Amino acid sequence: MVAGQRLKEARKKANLTQEQLANMLGIKAAEISQYESNKRTPRWPVFRKILDILNISADEVLGREITVQDEEEYQVRLSKEDLKILSSIKDNSTLYKILLKDPERNIHLISSNLKKLIPEIDS
């Protein structure tokens, strides 16, 4: 999920229409639509106001919601979506074991094969 979708979900959770949020911000509803569809990025003052109005953090919008820490104090920030993907991979024990053997190589193989099916996928 991308930032625009997260903004949209937060707006809906706050029971606001695009027009209502736009009026609170002093901008046009079309701008809110563009933010939510990732066609435009709000300038910092507008973004900060959106965060305050929707009562969310920048980390939530950016998908940096969970910090995982191992015994070596290494930290990784994951979104809920990232965690869902990783949990699904781990649930498939065969795939999980294959990926563990050589993660970089196997992800490259998966990506290469997916490109054949879905050309829009980036490397």
pLDDT of residue 8: 94
pLDDT tens, residue by residue, 30-71: 999 999 999 999 999 999 999 999 998 888 888 776 566 666
Residue 3 and residue 61 in contact, taking contact as beta carbons nearer than 8 Å: yes
Tell me the average pLDDT of the chain: 86
Structural domains in the chain, sorted by start: 3-62 (1.10.260.40), 92-123 (no CATH)
Q: What angle do CA 65, 77, 72 make, to 5 degrees?
A: 135
Q: What is the pTM of this model?
A: 0.56
